[in-house]
Amino acid sequence: MSFSSKPPPGIERSGYWRWINRLIFGRNSSYKRILVVDDAELTVDCIEEEIKKNYPDFHIEKAYDGEEALRKIGTNLPDLLITGIYMPVMSGLQL
């Protein structure tokens, strides 16, 4: 699954987070360990806050570049990876 900051066709921007919420965290979701990766600390913190607010039992790991994310993935594979695309050291696409 892949997401960008631009909503897909037919989804208005105001409903984008609700759409992601239903798609990823629906009633039958098995995602419990999430790794959030971006070089912008504020972005990572906002995503973490939004997930924890709605799903307090989820475990959120954070990384601030692709290499740090790879180290974390190597020690404990997450159920879901949310990553930025353009980052220094290693892009989200390379990850």
Distance CA 86, CA 38 (A): 8
Distance CA 95, CA 77 (A): 13
Q: What tens-digit pLDDT sequence spans the chain (95 residues)?
A: 444 455 555 556 556 666 666 666 665 566 688 999 999 999 999 999 988 887 788 899 999 999 999 999 988 889 889 998 888 888 888 88
**Residue 6: strand pairing partners:** none
Whole-prediction pTM value? 0.69
Q: Could you give the C-alpha distances from 53 to 15, 45, 46, in angstroms and in order? A: 18, 12, 10
Distance CA 29, CA 83 (A): 19
